[in-house]
Structure 1
Amino acid sequence: MMAHELTHVVQQGGGVHTQPIKETGSCQHTPILKVISYIHQEMIKNVASADVAYIREKMGFWQLDNLIPFKGPVDIIDAYWRWYTLVKTGGPWDHKAKIMNSYGKWSFDRLDKRLYSFDIWSNIHYGYIGLASDIPEWDLLSGAGIAQKLAGTVPPGYEDRVQTMLDFFSALDDPLDQEAIKIGFELWRSVKTGVAIQNIHDAARTHAARLATQPCR
C-alpha cells in the first residue's frame, strides 16, 4: 500500500505547527491529537454548562432538603434524569457516533505507535463531566453497566467479572470502557476545570494497556 502523508500538530517555540507523518498500511488513521482536541473542547464547554450546574445543585444540596418531606429524593431523581437524557445513546453528550463518523474507528499516536479506539474519548468525557456534576463514582460506573444491559450489548464474561469486581452492575460494562471512565475521574480530581489537551493525551498513554488500543507498526 502506498504511503499516505498525515499531519501532526505540535508545539514549538510557543507556537503551533504541523509536521508531516508518513505511515504505511494499517497505521493510516486520524492523528490522535485531532480527536483529543475535539473531546477536550467538549469537556471544557460542558463542565461550564447550565446542565452541570443544575445537576450539581440537585446532588450537592439535597441533604438539606430532608427537612421537607420527599423533596430530597425528588431532587436526586431529577438530577439523574437530567444526566440520563444527556448521556444516553444519541444524547448530546454521547460522542461515540460523532467521533466514529468524523474521525473513524481508530486514531493513531505517532510517538508510541499505537491505535486508540473511538469510544475511549466519550467515556473519558463521561467520567470527567459526571464527577464534575457531583455524581458518585460508583453510580457512574454502575450506570454505564446498566446502559449496556438496556442496549443488549453486555460483553461476554459477565459472571467472571462479577466474581473479580464484586459488583453486579459495573460488571455489565466492558472493562475497557470502565478504565476510560476512570481516566475521566482522574482528570477531574487532578486538574478540575484546568484540564488541557496534554493532560488527556498523557493519561491515555499511561493507561493504554488497559484501554481499547492496539499496537501499529
Structure 2
Amino acid sequence: MRLGYFIRLGDKTSCGGTVLGGERSVTLLGVPRSREGDRVSCGKSTGEFHIVGGVDQLKSNGRRVAGSLDSTSSCACNALLIPSSFTTQYESLRRVKPQPAAVPRPDTLQNCGHPDQLLSITTYMAGEINRNVRHPTVVKIRQLNRYDASQDTRAYKALPWHARWWARDPQVVAKACRDEAVALWVNQMDNNSDWNYRAKISQLQNSSWHKQGRYLYHVGLWTGIHYGYLGLAAGFRSGVLLDGIDGQTPLEQRRTLRHWHTPAERVAISIGMELYKRHPEGVVTAKAILHAVVGAERENWGAGRREHGCSAYARLSVARPGGAVLQDA
C-alpha cells in the first residue's frame, strides 16, 4: 500500500489552482478538511471545478475524504492535489495496475512508452516560485540586505565626537542587518515545511526520479532551483548562496560550503539564480524552468541526473542484439 496525505482548504493543485472548499466541522491542524465534490480552481482556465475521487475507506457525511493519491481536479488539466501538511497520512487502497515493460525500438530513444514528467513539475514549481518571491520574509530579507552603510557612515563621521556617543555606528548596523538576514534565511529554508519541495514532489509523483527525454532527474533538483531563485531575489550574492550559507552546515563551516554541496546541488542552485536574472520578480514560466534544466551541461550534474533505462537498453540492443532488457529506474 502507498501512503498519501489528506487535502485541506487552501491547498494547491499541480496546475496552479487552489482548493476552495472544505468541511468546517472537521479540521486538520485548524484547517477544514476537504472532500470529493468540494470546489477547486484551475490555474490555467477561469471558473470553478470540483474535487474528483477520494479515500475509499474514509467518508464524511456521505462523501469520501480528499487524499493526495486518490483525488484530482475536474479541470481539463486533471491536476493533482498538493497537500500542505504531511503530519496526517493514510494508506491508499487503490491498486496500481502493473504496466508491461516497454521494449524501445533502437531507431528512437523517445519511443519507449514512458511519458515525460518534468512539465507538470515545472508548472507547479513556477507557481510556487512566483508566489514565494513575494513572501513577507523574503521581502524583509531583501530590505536588510539592501542596507547601504556608506551614506550613513559619512554623516556619522561628520558628527562631533560627543554626538557619536548617542548615534549608532552604521558599520555596526550593517553587520546587524547582515546577521539578521542570514538568520531569517536559514530559518525559513530549514523550518518551513511548505518549502520542502523534495518531500512534496516525491510524494506527488511517488518517485524520487523523474523522466524527461533520455534522462532521469533527481527530485532534489527542485529545492535547489527554488533556493537559488529566491536567494538572489532576497538580495544575496551568487557566491554567498553557493559557498557561504547552508542551514545544515555548522556556522564555522559555512565559509567552506563549496566542499559540502554536491555537483547536482550546485547546478540546481545555479539554474535558479540564472532564472532570476532572466525572469526577475516572479515572472518565471514553466517552460523557462524546463529549458534551463534540460539545457544544463551533462558533466555538471554528478549523481543528480542519470540515463533512463530505456535509453541504455536502446544502445545495448544495438551493440548486442538479444541482450538483457534493463529495467526502468
State which of 121, 132, 140 in structure 2 corresponds to 1:54: 140
Output the aligned Cα RMSD: 3.3
Say whether 1:105 aligns with 2:208: yes
Q: Percent identity?
A: 23
Distance between the aligned counterparts of 1:108 and 1:23, measured in 2?
18
Q: Taking structure 1 as reference, are residues 24 and 129 closer, same or farther at Cα in structure 2, changes over 3 Å only?
A: farther
8 Å CA contact 2:119, 2:287 repeated in 1: no
Distance between the aligned counterparts of 1:51 and 1:27, measured in 2?
44
Q: TM-score, normalised by structure 2?
A: 0.49
Distance between the aligned counterparts of 2:181 and 2:152, measured in 1?
14
8 Å CA contact 1:148, 1:173 repeated in 2: no
Q: Taking structure 1 as reference, are residues 148 and 84 closer, same or farther at Cα in structure 2, changes over 3 Å only?
A: closer
8 Å CA contact 2:123, 2:285 repeated in 1: no
- Deviations 1:89-142, CA, capped at 9 Å, x for gaps: 664433222222222201111xx2221110001100100000011111111112
State which of 112, 119, 123 in structure 2 corresponds to 1:33: 119
Provide the residue aligned with 2:276 in structure 1.
188
Deviates more, 1:190-199 or 1:83-92: 83-92
State which of 209, 215, 219 in structure 2 corresponds to 1:114: 215
Q: Taking structure 1 as reference, are residues 24 and 147 closer, same or farther at Cα in structure 2, changes over 3 Å only?
A: farther
**Secondary structure of 1:135 counterpart:** coil
Superposed displacement of residue 80, structure 1:
1.0
Distance between the aligned counterparts of 2:307 and 2:185, measured in 1?
35
Distance between the aligned counterparts of 1:86 and 1:32, measured in 2?
26
- Deviations 1:39-84, CA, capped at 9 Å, x for gaps: 2111001112212211110000242555432222111111111101
Say whether 1:201 aligns with 2:290: yes
**Secondary structure of 1:39 counterpart:** helix
8 Å CA contact 2:244, 2:256 repeated in 1: no
Provide the residue aligned with 1:45 in structure 2.
131
Q: How do 1:132-171 residues align onto structure 2 when only pairs under 5 Å count? A: 132-143=233-244, 146-147=246-247, 149-150=249-250, 168-171=256-259
Distance between the aligned counterparts of 1:149 and 1:17, measured in 2?
44
**Secondary structure of 2:196 counterpart:** coil
Say whether 1:127 aligns with 2:196: no
Superposed displacement of residue 198, structure 1:
0.4
Q: Taking structure 1 as reference, are residues 65 and 78 closer, same or farther at Cα in structure 2, changes over 3 Å only?
A: farther
Distance between the aligned counterparts of 1:183 and 1:190, measured in 2?
11
Q: Taking structure 1 as reference, are residues 116 and 208 closer, same or farther at Cα in structure 2, changes over 3 Å only?
A: farther
Q: TM-score, normalised by structure 1?
A: 0.73
Say whether 1:179 aligns with 2:267: yes
Q: Which runs of 5+ in 1 are unaligned?
A: 1-8, 10-14, 151-166
Provide the residue aligned with 1:160 in structure 2.
none
Q: Taking structure 1 as reference, are residues 147 and 175 closer, same or farther at Cα in structure 2, changes over 3 Å only?
A: farther
Provide the residue aligned with 1:155 in structure 2.
none
Distance between the aligned counterparts of 2:138 and 2:199, measured in 1?
22
Q: Which runs of 5+ in 2 are unaligned?
A: 1-14, 16-44, 46-74, 78-98, 103-111, 157-167, 311-329
**Secondary structure of 2:141 counterpart:** helix
Question: What code does the residue aligned with 2:284 have?
Answer: V
8 Å CA contact 1:131, 1:188 repeated in 2: yes
Distance between the aligned counterparts of 1:119 and 1:17, measured in 2?
29
8 Å CA contact 1:55, 1:82 repeated in 2: yes
